[in-house]
Amino acid sequence: MLHFFGTNIRWLFLSLRQTRFPMHTFLRNLTLLNFKNYEDVSLQFCDKINCFVGDNGIGKTNILDSIYYLSLCKSFFSGVDSLNIRHGHEFFVIQGEYAREDKTENIYCGVKQGFKKVFRRNNKEYDRLSEHIGLLPVVMVSPADSGLIIEGSEERRKFIDAVLSQFDHQYLDDLLRYNRVLTQRNLLLKDFARSNWFDADMVEMWDEQLVASGVRIFEKRKLFISNLIPVFQEYYEFVSGGKEKVELSYESRLLTGDFANMLKNSIEKDRKLQHTSVGIHKDDLLLSLSGFPIKRVGSQGQQKTFLVALKLAQFDYIKKEAGTFPLLLLDDIFDKFDAHRVAKIINLVASKNFGQIFITDTSSERMSEILKQIDGEYRLFHISEEGVNS
C-alpha cells in the first residue's frame, strides 16, 4: 500500500512538473568566432529580456541566428553551413554556456571548410545531431515567416513537420519513409506511362507502405493542429484586442475518407498525371481572416499579428512537450505594428509564461521607450561598426 501510495505521489509530482512548472533554460554566455560578420565577440546575457539595437545590416539577426544554431544545429536561413563562415576565413565557432535546471551546459558548434560539422555538449561530441535537437528548444519569430502566408502549402507543411519531428522521432522516421515510398511510386507511374504497360500489384505494394506511414503522420498532424488552434486564437485575440475573427484549420483529403481507398480510386488519374495526386504530401494549413484567406484580405499588420500568434502557439506547444521554456528570438517584429500591439506583445513575453527573450530593433529610442514600460530585468546591446556594447 505504501509502495503504491509512494508511486502515485511521485507520478503526481512528475506530471505536475510537466504540465505546470516547465524548467528554465538560460543562455548566459555566447562566443562567436568568424561567424558571419563577427570576428571574435563574447556576450553575457541576462535571464529575461536581451535587446540588440543597431542599423540595418550591422549583425543583429546574425546573433539570433547563432543562438538558433546552438539549439537546432543549423542556421534558420540557409542549409549550407559554410555560408556562415566569415568571408575570407576557413572556420567558424559558436559557443554557448547555458544554465539548465541549475546545471551548466556548454555547447560547441564548429564548422570548418571541407570538414564535417562538430557539435559538442560539455566537451563530448555527439554521434548524431538529432540527439541534441530538443535539448535547448528555441522559437524564432522572423520577417521570413511571411513565407508561411504568401508561399505555397509546402512552407506550411514544413512548419508543422519541423515542430513535430523535434520531439517525435517516429514522426520523423515516418515522414522520411513516406517521402521515399512516394518517390518510388511516382517513378513507377512514369515508367508505366513510358512503356505503355501497367501492373496493379506493383502499385499496391507501394500503397501499403504509403498508407501505413501516411495515416500515422495524418493522425499526429490532426492532433497537433487541434491543440494549436485554441492557443493561437487566444494569442491573436490578446494582441489584436479581440476585434478580428481569425481561423486556423487543417486541410487534408484524409479527413474525408480512407486513405487506402482514395489511392485505389485515383489510380486512373494518377496514371495520367504520372504522379500521386492524393496523400499527406498535399496537406495544408488554412489561414483565414473573417472567412477569407489572410493572404488576400489581411493588412500587413494583421498578417504579422497572425504569424506572431502562430509562433507563440508553437512556443506553448514546445514548452509543454520539452518541459522547459524555449528561448524566444524576436527578430524585427516591431516593424509594421502599431504602438498598441507592440506594447501588448512586450508585456506578454515579459510575463512569467515566457522565459528568456532576445529582441532586435533598429530604433534605440523605440526600444528604450518600450523597456521603460515593463518591470522585468533587461539588457540593451548597441551594435555598431566598432562592436557590441551593453
Ligand X SMILES: Nc1ncnc2c1ncn2[C@@H]1O[C@H](COP(=O)(O)OP(=O)(O)O)[C@@H](O)[C@H]1O
Enumerate binding residues for ligand X (CB under 6 A): 36-37, 54, 56-62, 84-87
Give the interface segment with Mg ion, choosing from 17-25, 60-68, 217-225, 274-282 (CB under 5 A).
60-68
Q: How far is the CB of 368 from ligand X (least distance, A)?
A: 18
Output 64 or 73, the one with its CB closest to Mg ion: 64
Selection from 383, 356, 359 nearest residue 100 by Cα? 356
Output 302 or 362, the one with its CB closest to ligand X: 362
> Could you tell me the three cell numbers for 88?
575570407
Residue 389 contact, options Mg ion, ligand X, none, Cβ 5-8 Å cut-off depending on partner type: none
Q: How many whole angstroms separate alpha carbon 70 and alpha carbon 28? A: 13
Residue 37 contact, options ligand X, Mg ion, none, Cβ 5-8 Å cut-off depending on partner type: ligand X
Residue 54 contact, options Mg ion, ligand X, none, Cβ 5-8 Å cut-off depending on partner type: ligand X
Residue 213 contact, options Mg ion, ligand X, none, Cβ 5-8 Å cut-off depending on partner type: none
Give the interface segment with Mg ion, choosing from 58-66, 148-156, 210-218, 281-289 (CB under 5 A).
58-66
Output 53 or 231, the one with its CB closest to ligand X: 53
Q: How far is the CB of 249 from ligand X (least distance, A)?
A: 34
Q: How far is the CB of 137 from ligand X (least distance, A)?
A: 22
Output 254 or 327, the one with its CB closest to ligand X: 327
Q: How far is the CB of 89 from ligand X (least distance, A)?
A: 8
Laid out side by side, the sheet with 246-251 consists of 246-251, 284-289, 292-293
Nearest residue to ligand X by CB is: 61
> Could you tell me the three cell numbers for 6?
509512494
Q: Which residues pair with 205 in a beta bridge?
A: none
If one asks whether residue 142 binds Mg ion (CB under 5 A), the answer comes out as no
Output 35 or 232, the one with its CB closest to ligand X: 35
Pairing of strands 284-289, 246-251: antiparallel
Q: How many whole angstroms separate alpha carbon 256 and alpha carbon 346? A: 41
If one asks whether residue 61 binds Mg ion (CB under 5 A), the answer comes out as yes
Residue 48 contact, options ligand X, Mg ion, none, Cβ 5-8 Å cut-off depending on partner type: none
Pairing of strands 38-44, 25-35: antiparallel
Q: How many whole angstroms separate alpha carbon 212 and alpha carbon 180? A: 13
Cβ(276)–Cβ(185) under 8 Å? yes
Amino acid letter, 130: S
Output 141 or 189, the one with its CB closest to Mg ion: 141
Q: How many whole angstroms separate alpha carbon 373 and alpha carbon 197? A: 72
Q: How far is the CB of 320 from ligand X (least distance, A)?
A: 31
Give the interface segment with Mg ion, choosing from 4-12, 52-60, 188-196, 282-290 (CB under 5 A).
52-60
Output 311 or 344, the one with its CB closest to ligand X: 311
Q: Which long-range contacts (CB under 8 A, 24 or more apart) does 256-261 make?
A: 259/210, 259/211, 259/214, 259/215, 259/218, 260/207, 260/211
Output 113 or 179, the one with its CB closest to ligand X: 113
Give the interface segment with Mg ion, choosing from 61-69, 90-98, 105-113, 226-234 (CB under 5 A).
61-69
Q: How many whole angstroms separate alpha carbon 221 and alpha carbon 185? A: 23
Output 75 or 276, the one with its CB closest to ligand X: 75
Selection from 33, 155, 50 nearest residue 94 by Cα? 33
Q: How far is the CB of 363 from Mg ion (least distance, A)?
A: 13
Location of C-alpha cell 475573427: 245
Pairing of strands 357-361, 327-330: parallel
If one asks whether residue 303 binds Mg ion (CB under 5 A), the answer comes out as no
Output 37 or 106, the one with its CB closest to Mg ion: 37
Cβ(185)–Cβ(203) under 8 Å? yes
Give the CA distances from residue 292 to residues 156, 230, 245, 329, 370, in Å, rounded to whole numbers and listed in that order.
Answer: 17, 19, 10, 30, 34
Q: How far is the CB of 77 from ligand X (least distance, A)?
A: 9
Residue 87 contact, options ligand X, Mg ion, none, Cβ 5-8 Å cut-off depending on partner type: ligand X
- Terminal CA-to-CA distance of the chain, rounded, Å? 59
Residue 57 contact, options ligand X, Mg ion, none, Cβ 5-8 Å cut-off depending on partner type: ligand X
Judged by the rule CB under 5 A, the positions of this chain that interact with Mg ion are 60-61
